[in-house]
Homo-oligomer: A and B are copies of this chain.
């Protein structure tokens, strides 16, 4: 007897291990079973670690499962789950799988079965799901999932060979689920490590900012506005909307004033305008910031934002007097956000401008102090009321 869907299912099983989201994986398998094996409906109970229970994923198939309320999730004490977790299919039927017919026969023969009560409950469960066969999926001894198979569309029973094949498939499935879990764990870990880095940067940036008592909240506001600007520009510009660019911009925003750690407190906190010498010292902060961060080679692009955020479009800025497109775009964005925030913040020796005036000043400085591309985006954000 030829199993004509075998080859297709084998190929599919092989590809399963590249699906790293268990739920997606399960949905694919259910759909495949219904389409290729031509059964009326199929379902898979997938173990969910967080809920410590088995969650049902069904395919409508031909007739569709009618899943009674409360059955979409099964606790560990559900008879069907217990049956397979305790490896009873193997112990009682000498087989990895369980068919409705074999179970019915066992109960009918009235043979002395120690677990008759459990078997009756299992039968009832199978009837609820209109399942003619249940295939457990184990990783080592752990029950990862249970495949529930409805009748074939042509009305035939599954041949022994077919059941054997499903058992093999369930084994592949278990490995794929396990693999997916390992992947997910690793990805979670990766996310955690990145958050750790960002939290650290935020904390330390905040601590450093705290020394400069007139600019509390400045770092956060500049970072947020910079990201908004990049997203706006990103609608037309591929580079600006790339996640890598946004990531570096975020870091650069948080760290743009880190160099102020090297500026004496009496200058940072001076109650009035700075002397020429003091101003010169103050203007060292972008270069100082890039020197501090330079050993962190992973954030090279972000460092450009720190180093050049006081350059001006017409070449009159510092530290290098870069002009126009020579200025890294990441720095050009921070420059606008930084200037806007500085203008609108009160200082002991002057009151901050109101928003309208600040926006006007920035528009006027387009092409002189600021990159016109960024100013355009800034004006659009203002018009949308997002500034």
Decide if A193 is an interface residue (CB 8 Å cutoff).
yes
Contact B298 A206 (CB under 8 A): no
A17/B175 contact (C-beta < 8 A), A186-B186, A190-B189, A261-B261 known = yes
A293 at the interface (CB under 8 A from B): yes
- Most chain B C-beta atoms within 10 Å of own C-beta, residue among A171, A189, A204, A264: A204
Most chain-B Cβ atoms within 10 A of its Cβ — which of A195, A196, A292, A294? A196
Identical chains in the assembly: 2
Whether B292 lies near A204 (C-beta < 8 A) is: yes
Interface residues of A in 203-250 (CB under 8 A from B): 203-204, 206-208, 210-211
Question: Are A265 and B264 CB-contacts (below 8 A) given A199-B298, A296-B200?
Answer: yes
Chain B residues positioned under 8 Å from A204 (CB to CB): 204, 258, 292
Residues 156 to 206 of chain A near chain B (Cβ within 8 Å):
168, 171-172, 175-176, 178-179, 182-183, 186-187, 189-190, 192-197, 199-204, 206
Contact assessment for A203 and B264 in the assembled complex, using a CB-CB cutoff below 8 Å: no
Count class of interface residues, chain A? 35 or more
Which residues on B sit within 8 Å (CB–CB) of A176?
A: 17
Chain B residue nearest to A196 in the complex (CB): B298
Of all chain B residues, which has the CB nearest A251? B200
List the B side residues contacting A207 at CB < 8 Å. Answer: 258, 261-262, 292
How distant is the Cα of A183 from the Cα of B202 in the complex, in angstroms?
30
Neighbour of A199 across the interface among B186, B203, B262, B295, CB < 8 A: B295
Q: Do the beta carbons of B202 and A200 come within 8 Å of each other?
A: no
Instruction: Tell me the nearest residue of chain B to A202, going by C-beta.
Output: B295
Partner of A172, one of B14, B187, B196, B201: B14
Asked if A299 lies at the interface with its beta carbon under 8 angstroms from chain B, I say: yes
Asked if A76 is an interface residue, CB under 8 A from chain B, the answer is no
Chain B residues near A261 (CB-CB < 8 A): 207-208, 210-211, 261
CB-nearest residue of chain B relative to A295?
B203
Residue of B nearest to A171 (CB): B14
Identify the A interface with B (CB < 8 A): 10, 14-15, 17-18, 168, 171-172, 175-176, 178-179, 182-183, 186-187, 189-190, 192-197, 199-204, 206-208, 210-211, 258, 261-262, 264-265, 292-299
Q: Pick the 5 closest A-B CB pairs, nearest first.
A: A193-B193, A197-B197, A207-B292, A199-B296, A196-B298
